[in-house]
Structures are given as structure tokens and as C-alpha cells.
Amino acid sequence: MKHSQEFWKQHVETWQDSGLSQQAYCRRHRLPKGTLGYWSSKLKKEEKAACAIVEIGRAEIKEPKVPSAIELVIKGRYLLRLWPGMDMDHMRNVLAVLEGEL
């Protein structure tokens, strides 16, 4: 008599939980030992295949937005990079020094 996969799946799980050897379990339940071993192996392979990593989508990676600087070239001698959020007092001090040299 041919049994379904579900029948063998239940027996494999019950055998594994029983603590009995395959031979002892099969004897107790009048099952062919080779068939229980076959289904145990087959179900283990299917379980591994079901646990495979599958890519289901890919998020678009965007570069983080980096604030850009304003660059000032003064008389070909100085390059000032003014970044957003810079300390305005510090910028005034630098400009005052440069104005004194120009």
C-alpha cells in the first residue's frame, strides 16, 4: 500500500521525537525501515531547500546628500570654502584678516 507524503512526514517526526532507533520504531509501527529512512532523507532535503535565501526585492541605494560648499577665490591667492552651518563669527574674523592683507 502506497502512503502519502504527509503520512511519512508524520512518522518521521514521531520517530525523531521518540528516541528510538529507526529499526525499533519501524518494528513497533510495522513500517519498512528503508522507506522511513528514504522519507527522512527526502524531507530533510526539502526542508533545506525551503530555507534557502530568496531575494524578494532590492532597495534602491541613494547616496547621502552632502551639503555643498560655496567657494570664493580672492585675488587668485585665497580660496575660501564656506560650508552651510559654519560659524559666522569665524568667517568674519577670517575675512577681516584677509582684508588687512589685501
Q: Which pLDDT value is given to residue 78? A: 75
Sequence ranges of the domains in the chain? 5-50, 70-101
Within 10 angstroms of residue 93's Cβ, the number of other Cβ atoms is 11
Question: Which stretches of the chain drop beneath a pLDDT of 50?
Answer: none
Instruction: Point out which residues pair with 25 in neighbouring strands.
Output: none
Query: From the CB of residue 82, how many other CB atoms can be counted at a distance below 10 Å?
Result: 12
Query: What is the pLDDT at residue 51?
Result: 57
Its pTM stands at: 0.46
Question: H-type helices in the chain, by residue range?
Answer: 5-18, 22-29, 33-50, 88-101
Look at residue 84 in the predicted model and tell me its pLDDT: 84
Rounded Cα distance between 95 and 97, Å, is 5
Give CA–CA dist 92/16, Å, rounded: 79
Instruction: Tell me which DSSP letter residue 43 carries.
Output: H
pLDDT score of 2: 75
Residue 59's pLDDT is what?
64
Per-residue pLDDT at 88: 86
pLDDT at residue 38 in the model: 92
